[in-house]
Amino acid sequence: MAGSPPERATVDARVLSATQATASPPRLSFRTTALPAGVITPEGGDGGTGLLDLLAGREDVVSWVRHGRGLVGWGQALRLEAQGPDRIEALRSAWRATVYASWWRDALVRPGTGPVALGTIAFSPTSAAVSVLVVPRVLVGLDDSGAWLTTAVADGEAHPEVAEVLARVRPSASAQTGAPSPDAPAVSVGALPEADYLAAVAQVRRRIAAGEARKVVLARDLLVRPAAPLVTGELLRRLGAEYPSCWTFAVDSMVGATPELLVRLEGRRLASRVLAGTARRHAGDAFGREREAARLAQWLAASAKNRAEHELARDSAITALEPLCSAVEAEPPRVLTLPNVLHLATDITGVVAGDTGALSLVGALHPTAAVCGTPTAAAARIIAEVEGMDRGRYAGPVGWVDWHGEGEWCIALRSAALPPGGAGPTAPARVFGGGGIMPESEPADELAETKAKMRPMLTALGAVG
């Protein structure tokens, strides 16, 4: 039942380095079955269940949901791991080898069906964090054509019966709801206290003025220690309800609701969305917030500092994509309005040349100027010297890839690294926020921007009202 204790990875789940999997690929069996109409619905209404509602009470979960559609799953049939400068290519090779060694039955054959792995990748090649691709044992998907169920097992193992899985995907009245504790979580300083972050912004400004870089993205973190054990499924439900237009994701304890699409590949057609340049929103009634959003949108579109910051990020994405595409087009920048902030946004489309897959595009794009700066090497060096922390998977790629290399990847923003399963029920979560530092940046404004970007996760964790 969905109200049973949170599930962990099964003891026979396979964990392999990408090198091991490439040299000796694991053999998996996948089975995709269409689900009856109305069992899974985008909003969970009309007698159906919403995707994120399926995760009630669960810990060992994956999620990739936007506007109620996407993928959720649990259990672990396979975990591929990589570190270092070649981590993305290593995972791509390992996944390709795994697909070639496996077999599957899929009558639907559309994006997200058949063999699928979800991944989260460390921001820096020097990070201690492991980059992973996870194949869930159970994956439930929903798109405009309907819902489906994919199960993954070791070769020779029996697939669970569809009726058995369906009995578990209908949350019962006794399902664990993860109601927030009446006691507020304890929030403590991460790598940099606020005063040190202000000093770091000022230092980066001086280094930009000295010609070391044109833009540097500087982030900070907070530690949130919950008053009661965290339930990942409940955090995802809260994020999905508050930020439906964002991608609500969870992979290997990296959780968030990100607005920034790194790349979507379907057939040979790709899409990307660059976000850079930010205006903070404030609390107020609906009418007041609507007027505020209109005012901020006008200000953001006219801001020379924000336009320059956005142009650098836009150009970095186009430059990375052009060698891999036969055509790349970028729309004029527009303003994207979210509950906590407004961003300048550019939507990019293209046609991939040859058989370039989604993970190859991810490797070419990461890190963009939107999350690192420009020039990339100089900005990354300054981040390592000034930021004072290992970002882990924050601001790294997160998403999914299917059996023929297509998929959808975003940047892990508005996110938190939850404590691993063995760290204890009240181990702290790391919540992240950052902003692009330009020559005109004011330290106090940059600090306030990080607070606005942390708000989605802090609210979901119960740290702010």
Looking at 177, 206, 231, the residue that finishes a domain is 177
- Would residue 266 show up in a list of annotated catalytic residues for this protein? no
Which of these is catalytic: 59, 81, 215, 453? 215
Looking up tokens 């999350």 gives: 371
Q: Residue 210: what pLDDT?
A: 97
Does residue 159 share a domain with residue 239? no
Looking at 111, 146, 177, the residue that finishes a domain is 177
Does residue 226 share a domain with residue 131? no
Which of these is catalytic: 260, 387, 406, 408? 260
Does residue 345 share a domain with residue 282? yes
Residue environment code for 278-313, b if the CB has 16+ CB neighbours within 10 A, otherwise e: bbebeeeeeeebeebbeebbeebbebeebebbbbbb
Does residue 99 share a domain with residue 71? yes
- Higher pLDDT: 70 or 171? It is 70
Does residue 250 share a domain with residue 128? no
Type of residue at 423: A
- Alpha helices (H) in 253-339, listed in sequence order: 286-302, 304-321
How does pLDDT run across 283-331, given as a tens digit for each residue?
A: 654 556 788 889 999 999 999 999 999 999 999 999 999 999 999 999 9
Does residue 207 share a domain with residue 146? no
User: Residue 465 above 80 pLDDT?
Assistant: no
Number of domains making up the chain = 2
How does pLDDT run across 113-136, given as a tens digit for each residue?
A: 999 999 999 999 999 999 999 999
Q: How confident is the model at residue 461 (pLDDT cuts 50, 70, 90)?
A: very high
This prediction's pTM: 0.92
Does residue 168 share a domain with residue 53? yes
- Higher pLDDT: 422 or 382? It is 382
Does residue 216 share a domain with residue 107? no
Return the H-helix or E-strand segment holding 456.
Answer: helix 443-460
Looking at 177, 205, 228, the residue that finishes a domain is 177
Does residue 385 share a domain with residue 339? yes
Q: Residue 385: what pLDDT?
A: 97
Other beta carbons within 10 angstroms of residue 172's beta carbon come to 13
Can you tell me the mean pLDDT for 358-378? Answer: 96
Structure token pair of residue 5 = 């204790």
Looking up tokens 């059996």 gives: 403
Helix axes of 87-101 and 358-365: crossing angle, nearest 10 degrees: 180
Does residue 170 share a domain with residue 184? no
The fraction of the chain above a pLDDT of 90, given in percent, is 78
Does residue 118 share a domain with residue 244? no
How does pLDDT run across 237-296, given as a tens digit for each residue?
A: 999 999 999 999 999 999 999 999 999 999 999 999 999 999 998 765 455 678 888 999
Q: Residue 423: what pLDDT?
A: 52
As beta bridge partners, residue 153 has 29
Does residue 369 share a domain with residue 222? yes
How does pLDDT run across 162-204, given as a tens digit for each residue?
A: 888 777 665 543 344 445 556 788 999 999 999 999 999 999 9
Q: How many Å apart are CA 74 and CA 134, to the nearest integer?
A: 10
Residue 430 belongs to a domain with what CATH number? 3.60.120.10
Q: Residue 12: what pLDDT?
A: 42
- Would residue 406 show up in a list of annotated catalytic residues for this protein? no
Residue 128 structural domain: 1-177
Q: Residue 8: what pLDDT?
A: 36
Q: Residue 290: what pLDDT?
A: 81
